Each structure stands twice: as structure tokens, then as C-alpha cells.
Amino acid sequence: MTREQGTGPQAAGGRRQPAEKAGHSERPAASRGIAIIPIERVVIPSRQARDPHRPERGLSPLPGRQRFLASLGMTKVLGMTCVFALACNRGESAERSGEKAIATPSASQTAQAAADGPRGTLPNDMCQLIPVADVEAILGKLTGPPKGGKETCKYPLPMDEETAKSRAGYQQMARDINAKSAAANDTTMNSVAVIVTVDMRGDMTFERGGKIAGTMLANMFAQVANKNGATIDTSKRADEPKRPEGWDRATSVHGKSDFRGRIGHLVVSVDENSDLINAVPSEKKAALAARVRDRITDLPFVFPFAGPQTGPPPEPDPCSLVTREEAEAVLGKLLAPPYRSHDGGPYAKPHGLSCGYYTAGHHVFVVTPSWARGKQHFEIIRGVGTLVTSVAADPDREKADTLDGPWDDVVLGLDGTLAFLKGDQLLEVEYLTSSTDAAGAVRLARVALKRLASKASGT
């Protein structure tokens, strides 16, 4: 359960939650979805296997159409992926986890947004974001109308002869090995479609986890290949990749690979409906992703899965910890006044317990205070991080231990959040989706933590 699931009359899953107390709010012990359970008991489903557009993808179907991500030989990688998934409260979209999306903000949300500052909007159907003519100018003529939802749009395309021949040969080989195998009966290989997904949650858990897991795998393979058995030093920071044009991070564009680009908290993914033998060049996928990015308003968006909220927002106000002037001195000009946000993320929410500072390029800096029971939550963050670093080194996490300032302790969360502890008050700072670096984040944290301690003590 996340910190704010109890703020509405009923949580998304249908279970009634206690109303949040006014004043100093209390976090549950397993705040923000963090839990530690035996890894060997966990089945990790693939994202694609539960995608309504691609339910048949994946391997070894399980009840509920869940499928294994990898073979049992990848125990360590699966274990670490499990930890990242558990630590990520925004790692699963509401559509995929069973929550019902509110198509448009309510009248009260709209009125509150107008009072708080400008807000961005998206169509109820993601296929309405870009005219079909623009899509066809990039991908070519579609074979039918696009189909989509709140987060995705699927564009059907013709299959070229080379792809058809390669797929037919692959499936014949699969049938020769085992006619009942998933590969031999994979119906996604009978068609070509490009699926665009827009993710605005700003969760960095899997991006950081991918870097850590990639380093670990490189170490494993290098040790096998190296006759001398030399070990790669995974504690060294890898060189930062060159920033791709128009994105903060993006996958490389080569061959017919799928594309994923992130700028600030906005992630645009362009994938094909089949896992094997892609048909669409990567350059076209990257061009479509850029077109989608440029059509999305560069402003904060209202949290789309919130239920009705009544009464005044809980106090103290998290936005009282850093003023607009102080934030702009580090982040640059804000495109909207500081606003309450949902659960440490970029979404605006009038009753949110976090505060967002939004700058150009979909960049948002978020602070989340814990006015009480900060030590308990701090130890949870540290414990999950320790579980990961027991498998693979995280150089960023180790660097956080060297930060000096007016705090008792500091730790780096799996999603890149810096957590500063002072007494029993905790300040979480999410800066990886912002316009500043760790040094800027620490500069603002000093200001916020001082006010947090003062407000919590009533002085």
C-alpha cells in the first residue's frame, strides 16, 4: 500500500482504507510498496505478458496469463529484478494493475488545478494524440485503424516478404523441436504492429536497476571469458552515455530494435507486437517516439487515478520546505508554482504528501517529507538497498554514504531517491527526473531539511 491509498473513500483495489489523519501523517511500515520476501517464492511476470494488446507474449504461461521472464539459470538477475519490482510503487501502471483510470479530471480537480497553476492534458485515447497522416508519414501506410487506450496506441502495419520468410522459417524450426511449444504457436508472428506507450510516472527504479544488472552480467561473462579470471570492479562509476538529441536517456538506434526514450519524467516506448524478428526499422520507431514526445504538453499533469477528495489538504504543507525562489536558483525557471504531488512522483494531487518543482523539458524535482517515524522508513529504504548490493555493487549508492551535511544519515534508494534522516524526520529527494544533479539536490535538501526539523519541533 502506498502512502496515499487511504486518502480517498476507497482504495483502487476495492478495500476500504482508514482516512489519513490531519496534521502529522503516519506511514505504514511497508510504505511505498516496499516489501522483503523470500526471492525463491516469487514468480516475476513479464510486462508484455499482461499487456492487453499482447497477452500471448512471453514464455511458460502461468495462471492469470503470467509468464517467466527468464530461465532458472538467471537466478541472481531474477532475484535482483524482484527486489526492484517490490521497491517500486509506481512500477506498474494503474491500467495493468487493475485500477480504473479516470478518463478526465473531475470538476473539483480542475478547479483546484486552476488555482494551483497550469496543468497539462492528454486525450482519453492515446491514438488521438497524433493524426494518422503523421504516423503514416513515418511508418508507412497502415493496414487498419489504430486501437488504443489511456496509455497505449497500436498501429497495424503490413508484413514485408523478408520478415514473413524469416518468421515462417523460425516457427518451422520451433515446430520441428516441439510442436506444442510457445514459440511454435506464437500468433503474434502472424502480424506486424507498432505499439506506442506513454509513461509519465517518473519512476527510475528499472532504469537504475538495468544499469546495475548490466554491470553484474558483464562481470559474470567477463570472468567466464577471461582465462586469468580477472574481476571487473563493479564499484567504479560507468561513463555516462552521450545524451541523445531530445532525450535525457534513450536506447541505441540500430537495426530493427525497439525504442525507449526518457526526458525528465516522461517515457515514450515504441515496441513491436512480436518479441522475435522485428519488421520495423529502429530509426522509424525513434522518429515516432520523438513525434509523440513533442505533442505532450510540457506542464504538470493531474494524477489520473485519484478518487474524490474532500476537506482541506493535510498539514504541514510539503511545499513550505523550499520556496519558489530557492528552487529556481538551482533548477532554473519553474513553469508552474510549486505544487503538491502524488507519492513522490510528478503527478499533481491537491492532497498529495510530496511537492513538485517543474521546469522545462518535463523535468520535475520532488521532495517528500516524513514529519514523524522517519527512522522506521529510513531503515526500510536502507534494508532493500542492502539486499540489492549483496548481489551487485551500486557505485551511486556507495557514493551517497560520503555526503556530509546537517543530517544524521543519508542513503540512496533503488529509484535514485536521496533519503536524508534528521532525528525522526526524513526527507526524500527525487532528482533524477529533474534539471539538476546530485550536488544541486543536496543544496536544496539542506534548505528543506532545516525547515522540516523546525516545523516538526514546532519552533
Mean pLDDT of 436-440: 92
* pLDDT of amino acid 331: 97
* pLDDT of amino acid 389: 58
Mean pLDDT of 313-336: 94
Higher-confidence position of 185 and 34: 185
Least confident of 80-89, 214-223, 229-238: 80-89
* pLDDT of amino acid 396: 64
The pLDDT confidence band at residue 336, using thresholds 50, 70 and 90, is: very high
* pLDDT of amino acid 117: 82
The pLDDT confidence band at residue 122, using thresholds 50, 70 and 90, is: confident
pTM above 0.85, yes or no: no
Mean pLDDT of 76-91: 44
pLDDT tens per residue across span 185-231: 999 999 999 999 999 998 888 787 766 666 666 566 666 666 555 55
Least confident of 78-87, 132-141, 146-155, 170-179: 78-87
pLDDT greater than 80 at residue 63: no
* pLDDT of amino acid 226: 61
Least confident of 114-128, 344-358, 426-440: 114-128
Mean pLDDT of 1-23: 38
Across the chain, what does the average pLDDT equal? 75
pLDDT greater than 80 at residue 442: yes
* pLDDT of amino acid 415: 85
Higher-confidence position of 316 and 45: 316
pLDDT greater than 60 at residue 437: yes
Q: Which percentage of the chain shows pLDDT scores above 70? A: 62
Mean pLDDT of 44-52: 35
> SS3 for the chain, per residue?
CCCCCCCCCCCCCCCCCCCCCCCCCCCCCCHHHCCCCCHHHCCCECCHHHCCCCCCCCEEECHHHCEECCCHHHHHHHHHHHHHHHCCCCCCCHHHHCCCCCCCCCHHHHHHHHHHCCCECCCCCHHHCCCHHHHHHHHCCCCCCCEECCCEEEEEECCCHHHHHHHHHHHHHHHHHCCCCCCCCCHHHHCEEEEEEEECCCCCHHHHHHHHHHHHHHHHHHHHHCCCCCCCCCCCCCCCCCCCCCCCEECCCCCCCCEEEEECCEEEEEEECCCCCCCCCHHHHHHHHHHHHHHCCCCCEECCCCCCCCCCCCCCCHHHCCCHHHHHHHHCCECCCCEEECCCCCCECCCCCEEEEEECCCEEEEEEEECCCHHHHHHHHHHHHHHHHCCCCCHHHHHHCCCCCCCCEEEECCCCCEEEEECCEEEEEECCCCCCCHHHHHHHHHHHHHHHHHHHHCC
* pLDDT of amino acid 426: 95
* pLDDT of amino acid 313: 81
* pLDDT of amino acid 37: 33
